[in-house]
Amino acid sequence: MLKLSDSNWNNLSHAYGEASDIPALLTQLSEYPGQESYQSEPYFSLWSALCHQGDVYSASYAAVPHIIEFLAAHPSRATADYFMLPTCIEIARKKGNGPQIPPDLERSYFSALRQLPALVAKVKPDDEGFTRVLAAAIAVAHGEAALGEAILELSPDVLKEFEEWQDQR
């Protein structure tokens, strides 16, 4: 895992250029800040930089092990975004919406993703949306990115339409 103090963050990129700002944002995330809205920091800046409109970057792959490390340290303090951001990064990667994972980041990236199912088991979701995020994280951890993406799209309205379609068959 690339240390947050490593100068190699300067060689990684995100949606807005050089990723030298990502370690400070991840440090903020390690403190489990509240999340009142999608614009709450550091969540908004991390999402904007690392998974921007469905695209991912070399810094995205370096950030995932840190996000999952924070999640593993205190699963009960983590918001849904601790699961959703790594899940969406992997979905985008599998869709080809980003560069190849740099070889020096591959091992820690995939090792982190493999931890998701065990971490899901330690969390009690407080709503339907969080439950979908957890199910998607399990799918992605098992290499099923398309299934993970489909699960994220299964909002109550979509499920209702699906049930109606099933009833008509």
Whether pLDDT at 164 is above 90: no
pLDDT in tens, 30-66: 999 988 888 889 999 999 999 999 999 999 999 999 9
**In whole angstroms, what is the distance from residue 99 CA to residue 67 CA?**
20
- Do the domain assignments include residue 58? yes
- Parallel/antiparallel/unpaired status of strands 55-56 and 17-18: unpaired
Give how many domains the chain has, as a whole number. Answer: 1
**Any domain includes 2:** no
pLDDT digits (tens, 9 = 90+) for 106-133: 999 999 999 999 999 999 998 999 999 9
Q: Quote the pLDDT of residue 106.
A: 97
In a domain, 86, yes or no: yes
Tell me if 46 is assigned to some domain.
yes
Asked, for residue 72, whether it belongs to a domain, the answer is yes
Range of the domain at 53: 7-168
Q: Is residue 26 part of a domain?
A: yes
Asked whether residue 1 is domain-assigned, the answer is: no
